[in-house]
Amino acid sequence: MSQADVNGLTIEYDMRGDGQPLLLVMGLGSQMILWHDEFVDLLIER
């Protein structure tokens, strides 16, 4: 897992696939582990 420090906050992110970037934002303070792998894999294939 990669991390970026931005304005005093640490943001963790994951990079998958090799196409154009797509930013998924999990709302309500949830964690990215709630994105189901099957859903993310379908996005990568597109």
pLDDT number for residue 38 = 95
Task: List, in sequence order, every residue forming a beta bridge with 1; answer none if it has no partner.
Answer: none
Mean pLDDT (whole number) for 25-42: 89
Domain that holds residue 21: 2-45
Backbone φ and ψ for 24, nearest 5 degrees, come out as -105, 125
> For the whole model, what pTM was predicted?
0.64
% of the chain residues with pLDDT over 90: 41
Domain count of the chain? 1
- CA torsion sign for 35, 29, 16, 19 is positive
Backbone φ and ψ for 11, nearest 5 degrees, come out as -110, 125
Q: Is 40 exposed, middle or buried (0-12, 13-18, 19+ CB in 10 A)?
A: middle
* pLDDT beyond 90 at 33: no
Mean pLDDT (whole number) for 1-23: 91
* pLDDT beyond 90 at 19: no
